[in-house]
Amino acid sequence: MGKTKSQPETTPKKEPQPAAVPRVDKVQAALTEMSWQVALPFMAFVLGGNWLDGRYASKPTFTIAGLALGVAAVIVAVRNIVGKYYPNTVNKDDK
């Protein structure tokens, strides 16, 4: 039996797959950066206030002040990090 040339099978072209979703990378990067930029200032202000209370025997005045400053520092840090990774979500009206 003779061999005949068979026509090559045509396979449909595969559509290019979209690249990995960058949102996951952004979220991971933001949370990683946020973890130390939130924890360190907060702990520093609270522990500093506690140390001042022990030094001047004024419990809990400086600890509460340190807590308030720590919360303010956390709010600013989170706002800056969110603005860095998601610029359209932060209102930047500087009037």
Number of domains within the chain = 1
Q: Determine, yes or no, domain membership for 13.
A: no
Q: Determine, yes or no, domain membership for 17.
A: no
Q: Determine, yes or no, domain membership for 73.
A: yes
Q: Determine, yes or no, domain membership for 3.
A: no
In terms of Cβ atoms closer than 10 Å to its own Cβ (0-12, 13-18, 19+), residue 12 is: exposed
Residues 6+ apart with CB under 8 A from 22: none
Q: Determine, yes or no, domain membership for 59.
A: yes
Asked whether the beta carbons of 83 and 90 are under 8 A apart, the reply is yes
Residues 6+ apart with CB under 8 A from 31: none
Q: Which domain holds residue 80?
A: 22-87
Q: Determine, yes or no, domain membership for 60.
A: yes
pTM given for the model:
0.65
Q: Determine, yes or no, domain membership for 40.
A: yes
pLDDT reading at 65 higher than 80: yes
| Interval 27-37: pLDDT, tens | 888 888 888 88
| Interval 37-59: pLDDT, tens | 889 999 999 999 999 999 999 98
Residues across the chain: 95
**Local confidence band at 95 (pLDDT 50, 70, 90 cut-offs):** very low
